[in-house]
Structure 1
Amino acid sequence: MDSTTDFRILDLLPANYDDNLRCNIRNLELGTCEPYEALSYVWGDQLNLEPIQVAGAKVKITKSLQAALRRLRKPSMIRPLWVDQLCINQLDSRDKTRQVSIMRQIYKNCSRCLIWLGELPETLTVVDAEGAFDFICMCAGQWGDSEFIPSGLSTPDRLARAHGAFKALVLDGNPWWSRIWTVQEVVLPSNALVIWGPLCLPWAMLKQAARRLCSGLFPRLNFPILDTFHDIVNNFTGPVRGLEIAEAGESPLNILQRWRHRKATDPRDKAFALMGMFSMMGDLLMQEFPLRRANDNDARLAALQFHGGSPLDKLICNSVRMMIAGQTFFVTERGYVGVGPPNLVEGDEVWVLSGGKVPFILRPSTGDKSPRSSATPLFSLIGDAFVYGIMDGEAMALHKGGPQAVYLS
């Protein structure tokens, strides 16, 4: 490819599901009106590969991509796709650098992003997975406030199996939710489709469901169903709402901080994978992939050189001052002191949430949005906090009784 605005498109050739995979590769220029779909997926094991024919030549791809292409292949029509594993020359570092630099435009210009979550686990049936999708559609308000209950949630047994499928979808190690590259891949396109085995659901439906759950807009008369799912709802609303918030645009620093916990095979991808979301990057010079840092401790050495002669107490004070900048000092009813978000008000509560590494500030909901048939209270999440005296698990010893379920908005 001669132009810096050229990229490759994979034409997935039509065939039946079990036929060998065949495709062609061609060049396309950014800004062209020709439609294509971009695939968002997780590579998986790169040592366990499967064959595919590309322009008549045999090429090896990961099993995850092979499964995705089989599901996406049409029986009688060519399907134009952008797939990083085949549309980027993985053996050419210059090509990789060039293609990563235009990945923002590739995903932003695609007609639709296809989010491949993998095949269904062997322990689940298609009916089970349909029940999980029915729950998402119900929470999104697809059937309004009617008494209609979808078939996938209509009996106690189906409800239990749908709960298991929903857990597998959003919680049980589905790697798509934890990888760093998938963030920009779903944030940049204007349209996206979630594909899980043979099933699919618009990404907009997931966003609407998460938005309504966080706002307390539960479908009326379906609170028993919601109570069945309450233990894992936050594992769904948190990631989906985070991705929706990212669509509005944030500063580069906030973007890097928000997604720092996502995983990457190469640590440098923690930055490269998010560059497409930076709205003001200028002429950023990207480091080519094969280059290595001469010294991984450059920043640490620079800090020692700058602060080497400073008194220890001054360094500690400066560090604490930076840590609490913009935070609010508070005292609890029991006399504990701490710092929390700047928008704290009297009456906010300190909670220790299961799985959290720090205490959180919750605000009791003042609106009539909590389920009337449920005793579970509704709170707004204000933010995390530092509370002296409970940062090392002491709160568990002070608390009498078992864990308490709450709804968060």
Structure 2
Amino acid sequence: MSDPQTGSPSSGYHAASAADEEPAKSTTPKAPRASKKPQLLTPESIASDDVNDADDSRPPIPMAFKPISFAKPTAIQIDRDGIRKPGGTPEAKSTGRGRSLSLIKKAAGSLYRYRRLKDDEVRVLIVKAGASNDPLNATLLTLNDNHIENGSYKYAALSYNWGEDKTENSIIIQDDIGSAPITSIQALVDGAMGAKGLGAKRLLITPNLSDALKRLRQEDQPLLIWVDALCINQNDEVEKQEQVKKMDLIYRNAYNVCIWLGSDDPKNPISDMAMTFIPQVIEPSRHRALLHDSAYLPQWAIYRDFMKWVVYTSNSLDIICRHWALPERQTKTPTTPRLVELPSYIQLVDNSAFGRGAEVFDGRNAGDSFVGRPGDNIYHASGSGREQKFPQVKFPNISKKIDAATQDENETAAPVGGPPVNHDMSLVVTGVCMGKVSFRNQPFADGVIPKECLEKLGWSFDWHATSVESVPEQLWQTLVAEKGPNGTAMPHFYRRACQHCLVNLTRNGHINIESLLQESENGSYVMDYLERVKAVTWDRSFIEACPLKTIYPKSSDGSRDKLVGLGPPKTRRGDLIVVIYGCSVPVILRPMQRDANDIQGYEFIGEAYIYGKMDGEAIEDNFDEQKFRLI
């Protein structure tokens, strides 16, 4: 786990996260899809929140704000000792330091005065670096709505309970982002004697907000964060109404949404109940009791109300409270902990090629498909919207022949020009070729995912390891074809479920689905995940391919990152992975040739799933367009 103050390993602090996902930008988003880099802030690109409306001076901002990880995914102990809650120690308070803080408040002078925001502007708070007990120093900056929507600036957002406490704490708002934080009386004196004066005012905040900002503040870098109490002028009703309308936009585009439950408070048991309950939610062995025992109803109510609002509007959710942590989540679509039904393109296990046990004697059913129902595509490999590529069908012009055939017998028929139409039963299609298959394994047999495939998906097997810290995104997503119930985003618990599967590998490093299903509790999310993996991988081969373009980044060993996915069982090395315009999924084509330079056409082998290339990415990557003659 990481200390949010230093980013270094620490056993003293643990930030809690309601979701179970590593911070983005793994992305193992997919082979992670490209994300926009934080833009370097310059004097021309952004303005500070100036007190004087007539003054348009914009101080330089010599830094880029990078996303900060407040929490690290919780490791699963292979010996299943459970999650342990380290004890925290109260922060020591110095009487002399308390008097200094009081003097700093007085010396900072009058309260900060806001400048009215324009209709297309939003404030964000830059919390300057400092130690945990230092006074809070910050600068308010004004961003355009476009900066929020296009992800130019990576900021976090804070959600917390205002409570009934009085605003008896303060935060120092400095005009100049480059000025040093005010942490002592000497700093106040030096600032007041400077040529530009102190350039600092105060804003009053509640003790709860003060605790939250101090906990989130970093020691070595500034924190860019949106806090409603500070980023909205609470005394301006017009501005409040305008900014409240934008809260959905603000939370939805934040790279991280943190929920602060509060510091340790014996008088407020709600925080303790939530922190005690959340570890049980992510433990699959506890699911049956949690879902059926009425004694847990109060905890579920707190958990539901606690998560409901922010989960619907954010990409990530961190729960920050005291000295321990839970992992993050990635997807922003909430789901129930129980997988009810599979998407249309993946049949239920009972209806899949395995069939029910009694149906084995009557013959097995056909395998499932990635394509889905006609007109109801689950994937969009040919792109969508303006980037979508449609097939073009060319028909021979036979109108002249029809006219000639209907002429009066007494009329002299004019000769009909043009070559005759020959039908060789081939089909010419247009598309792009992403890569050539360089590896394929035998079709997955008996529900076993071999170690070799897991390693090619980013997993490193170590039988002597004591815990599983994290799971590569392309591993757990590829095994379920990157989809969740009803073709929606994958449930957030899939990553955690895969983590439990990796805890229970065989001695050879394989995932034995049948064995794990027998050991899993009925109705658990681990069982749901395994059933889906079983349906997706049955009678399919894992494939790896070399991309045909050099746009892909190089790995640490200097090689290009390869395409990975699932293909039909007849796939061979040398087959091509192609996106045919109009097709919702990639397909495998096999060149039919007499020699290396004489390709007669292509044989259609079947549909495929390619990680990170199922939603038009191949079209956006500008692969060379080609024509393929299918025979």
Higher Rg: 2
> TM-score per shorter chain, which class?
0.3 to 0.5
TM-score norm. by structure 2 comes to: 0.27
The structure whose RCO (Cα within 8 Å, separation 6+) is larger is 2
Higher helix share: 1
